[in-house]
């Protein structure tokens, strides 16, 4: 009969942690070391893929949303019936007093035809205030900034400029239809913008708002107001405040409501991201569980020996939990470094290029959210440890006498 030893003596000579460490990293004739390395590699790949997926989807959503916000603002004020508004400095001042507001910009739009030499193209003219910054700088006579200073200046999109053959310094003709008659105005091309969103680049040019108002018999009519807000503002609550300041027959709407097709597409990316992350997390956990099962099966004789020496089920379970923890921690650490490293490499170098006509941007966008990475790491650890308890339940079914006699 085997006399059971005091578990304290076993712990003194070889703790569960030490046993697990030697099993994992000490060279032996068994395949334990290879299995451990393979599981670490698989876990690292899964974690790196999750971090890259989150960073890429975050980048896409932010970049596309920001392009729409830069062009139209986050909130717009328009007439309910689609008619024009009269420009109101009092309304602008009142809205500007709200702490969430960054800028309120009146604008007007009108269809027209642009011509240069023998080329003509149908366009939408957007009138803005002089000195108002124009986003998406591509080329400008001022090099580092893009805005209209004079009434005879215009800013074209790169796509429209290419179609009609105009460049910076060219004088283009714009024909407006006013009250059944065509009025032609000549504009000097001050700069060229490029947003990457074909819907905008194929249609819009910028001119001075005063020119459009002058063509409308010198009125103060505008199409509406573009409102740019500070980051992290409560948009629904802010819209209610703005609406309370608006005159009758006008409505404040978010740009998401005006361009649902773009923002619905952005929302779909969130669903795709969650599905991809879930699948990769499941793969990582299944890989670790498979590894743990193999390690237990390979060490059946050791389990029987430890049991015969007096080690209880909890002690033996700790050995394998420590061993799979080494795999989990090292895999997560390596995967995090790889995922964050590749994300930063793309962020600073932009070495992965995209088809701009399909994705609205030339380079793969990246946005790293530290909280998301922490949640991935913590979530993987929690789910893994809960899952690890399943294989270790099998340990108490191993008979010491049978395993030692079998050996």
Q: What is the DSSP string of 154-209?
A: EEEEHHHHHHHT--TT-EEEEEEEETTEEEEEEEEEEEEE--S-HHHHTTEEEEEH
Q: Report how far residue 388's alpha carbon sits from residue 31's, in angstroms, rounded to the nearest whole number.
A: 20
Extents of the domains making up the chain: 7-65+263-406, 82-248
Q: Pairing relation of β-strands 119-128 and 204-208?
A: parallel
Helix H or strand E encompassing 71: helix 32-72
The per-residue pLDDT for 25 is: 61
What pTM did the predictor assign?
0.79
Q: Report how far residue 156's alpha carbon sits from residue 139's, in angstroms, rounded to the nearest whole number.
A: 10
The per-residue pLDDT for 284 is: 85
- Contact between residue 289 and residue 391 where contact means Cβ atoms under 8 Å apart: yes
The per-residue pLDDT for 231 is: 86
Rg (CA), the chain: 33
Q: What are the tens digits of pLDDT across the range 53-95?
A: 999 999 999 999 999 998 899 999 999 877 889 999 999 999 9
Q: Report how far residue 355's alpha carbon sits from residue 202's, in angstroms, rounded to the nearest whole number.
A: 17
* Dihedral sign of CA atoms 142, 145, 151, 154 in order: positive
Helix H or strand E encompassing 111: strand 101-116
Alpha helices in 196-308 (DSSP H): 198-201, 209-215, 235-245, 255-258, 260-298, 300-308
Other Cβ atoms within 10 Å of 7 Cβ, number: 15
Residue numbers of the chain with a pLDDT score lower than 70: 1-14, 16-17, 20, 22-33, 138-145, 300, 303-304, 306-308, 310-313, 392-407
Q: What are phi and psi of 133, to 5 degrees?
A: -60, 135
- Contact between residue 227 and residue 180 where contact means Cβ atoms under 8 Å apart: no
């Amino acid at each position: 009969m085997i006399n059971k030893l005091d578990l304290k003596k076993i712990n003194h000579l070889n703790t569960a942690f030490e046993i697990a460490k030697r099993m994992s990293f000490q060279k032996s004739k068994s395949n334990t070391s290879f299995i451990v390395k393979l599981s670490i590699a698989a876990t690292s790949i899964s974690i790196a893929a999750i971090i890259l997926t989150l960073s890429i989807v975050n980048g896409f959503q932010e970049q596309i949303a920001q392009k729409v916000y830069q062009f139209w603002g986050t909130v717009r004020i328009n007439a309910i019936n689609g008619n024009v508004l009269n420009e109101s400095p009092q309304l602008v001042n009142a809205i500007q007093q709200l702490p969430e507001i960054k800028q309120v910009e009146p604008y007007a739009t009108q269809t027209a035809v642009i011509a240069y030499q023998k080329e003509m193209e149908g366009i939408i003219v957007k009138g803005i205030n002089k000195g108002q910054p124009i986003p998406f700088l591509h080329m400008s006579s001022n090099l580092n900034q893009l805005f209209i200073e004079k009434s005879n200046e215009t800013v074209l999109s790169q796509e429209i400029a290419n179609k009609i053959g105009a460049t910076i310094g060219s004088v283009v003709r714009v024909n407006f239809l006013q009250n059944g008659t065509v009025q032609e105005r000549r504009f000097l091309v001050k700069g060229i913008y490029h947003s990457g969103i074909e819907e905008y680049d194929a249609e819009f040019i910028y001119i001075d708002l005063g020119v459009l108002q002058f063509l409308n018999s010198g009125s103060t009519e505008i199409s509406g107001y573009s409102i740019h807000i500070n980051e992290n503002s409560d948009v629904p609550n802010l819209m209610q405040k703005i609406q309370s300041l608006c005159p009758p027959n006008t409505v404040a709407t978010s740009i998401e409501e005006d361009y649902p097709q773009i923002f619905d597409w952005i929302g779909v990316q969130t669903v795709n991201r969650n599905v991809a992350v879930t699948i990769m997390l499941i793969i990582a956990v299944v890989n670790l569980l498979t590894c743990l099962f193999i390690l237990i099966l390979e060490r059946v004789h050791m389990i029987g020996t430890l049991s015969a020496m007096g080690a209880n089920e909890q002690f033996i379970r700790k050995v394998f939990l420590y061993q799979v923890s080494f795999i989990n921690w090292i895999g997560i650490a390596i995967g995090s470094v790889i995922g964050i490293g590749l994300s930063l490499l793309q962020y600073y170098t932009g070495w992965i290029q995209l088809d701009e006509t399909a994705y609205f941007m030339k380079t793969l966008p990246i946005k790293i959210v530290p909280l998301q990475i922490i949640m991935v790491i913590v979530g993987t650890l929690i789910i893994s440890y809960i899952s690890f308890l399943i294989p270790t339940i099998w340990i108490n079914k191993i008979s010491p006498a049978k395993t030692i006699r079998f050996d």
